[in-house]
A and B are shown apart, each in its own frame.
Chain A
Amino acid sequence: MSIMSYTGGTVVAMAGDECVCIASDLRIGEQMTTIATDQKKVHKVTDKVYVGLAGFQSDARTVLEKIMFRKNLYELRENRRIKPQVLSEMISNLAYQHRFGSYFTEPLVAGLDDTNKPYICCMDTIGCVSAPRDFVAVGTGQEYLLGVCENFWRENMKPDELFEATAQSILSCLERDAASGWGAVVYTITKDKVNISTIKARMD
């Protein structure tokens, strides 16, 4: 039994033309028993910046609370909204502070910065940031997602195409990953709005 797959869960994010899509499954379990089927792993940090936390859900919740605390302090001091790049640096520092005795969660940041340029990144449990330009995935279904996203992703996708690509990718992942499932929630973030869709997958 690995602590990273105790509660299960997967998060994926893709970048398009002035838009990003971030999606997660809805299952929380205790190893093989499913306990809840309505727990998303994506959370809003600001209107244009979202964070996803896969891995052990207790630590994911603790890290989320610390992120919100630090983001609120940042906004009070700086009197402006936080950018996704800055948020990911902040989370990376938080994780590395616990280098020996880390939080068992892999954060993922997706958002648009001030110029509406898309930014996505993922981290390991001790905060090593990798920010590619196409897609990122974390969680128990990570390997399945990387393969299928490679297939669906293209340059400069518009919001509708990006939503389709992300939704289809996470659906494929839920088909195969036993520790994730019970539907998916997809957030499509553009410069004017955020579209939230809950999609039905194989409910197990």
Chain B
Amino acid sequence: MAGMHFLVGISTENYVILAADKATFAYGAILADSENDKEYRLGKKLTMMCIGEEGDVAQFGDWTKRNLQLYSVRNASAHHFVRRSIAEGLRSQDHYTVDVLIGGYDDKEEKAFLGSVDYLANGLAQQPYLFRGFCGRFCYAIMDHEYKKDMSETEGLALMNKCIGEAKRRFVANIPGYKVVIIDKNGYRKLNDVLF
């Protein structure tokens, strides 16, 4: 299910960059809000970005955030928890139509983590780059070509800007801006929004 929204995740051994668009769309043609925060913090160095059905995103994001903050789980366990939650609801009345990206930094293993779970509970963990939403299709090939596993944070951000730039050029909807965060061994940092 490719949505109108766009989530970007880029990681190396040392950091993970996550970006989410700030738009809320309604009735197929209206930009209802350009300050929508799609992020849900799951821990000190763990965060999740969600897109999908609006109500489901809010419910699922909030519920997951409260549960995982309570238990202070590690990155791979959080990914597993999210995947299981969606999988168990998949064949029931209250299933969640949400696509998520999870990014974090594990202090013990000294490694960054990037994973995704889609609305059908297909989970992918420990990937170098992941995208959610239709715009992702423009960006996989860019990353295949330009990604280097030892690139610095500046280079990683430049690549992220390239992907977002491509989405701006080629995607039919106008996305007004993106929220960008980075997590590394120094902690979680919210960077300046990318605005158009």
Contact = CB atoms under 8 A, between A and B. Distances in A.
Interface of A: 6-7, 28, 30, 33-36, 39, 56-58, 61-62, 65, 101
B121 interface: yes
Given A33-B137, A35-B130, A28 B124 contact: yes
A58 B137 contact: no
B122 A57 contact: yes
A60 to B, nearest CB: 9
Given A33-B140, A35-B130, A36-B127, A58 B122 contact: yes
Size band of the interface chain B makes with A: 10 to 19
Nearest to A98: B91
10 contacts: A6-B120, A34-B140, A35-B124, A36-B124, A39-B124, A58-B83, A58-B120, A58-B121, A62-B84, A62-B121
Shortest Cβ-Cβ A-B pairs, 8 listed? A58-B121, A58-B122, A58-B120, A62-B87, A36-B124, A57-B122, A36-B127, A33-B137
B88 to A, nearest CB: 8
Contacts of B136: 33
Contacts of B83: 58, 61
Interface string B72-93: 0000000000011001001100
B176 interface: no
A114 to B, nearest CB: 33
A67 to B, nearest CB: 15
A6 B118 CA distance: 13
A28 B122 contact: yes
B46 to A, nearest CB: 21
A116 to B, nearest CB: 35
Contacts of A28: 122, 124
Contacts of B123: 58, 61
Contact of A30 (B84, B91, B118): B118
Interface string B102-125: 000000000000000010111110
Given A28-B124, A58-B122, A61-B121, 14 more contacts: A6-B120, A7-B122, A28-B122, A33-B136, A33-B140, A35-B124, A36-B127, A57-B122, A58-B83, A61-B83, A62-B84, A62-B87, A62-B121, A101-B91
A36 B107 CA distance: 25
A35 B115 CA distance: 12
Contacts of B121: 58, 61-62
Nearest to A3: B120
Nearest to B91: A101
B128 to A, nearest CB: 10
A101 to B, nearest CB: 6
Nearest to A7: B122
Nearest to B131: A35
B65 to A, nearest CB: 22
B103 to A, nearest CB: 16
Nearest to A39: B124
B90 A58 contact: yes
A65 B91 CA distance: 17
A56 B91 CA distance: 14
Contacts of A62: 84, 87, 121
B177 to A, nearest CB: 26
B87 A58 contact: yes
A179 B157 CA distance: 32
Contacts of B91: 101
B159 to A, nearest CB: 18
A28 B117 CA distance: 13
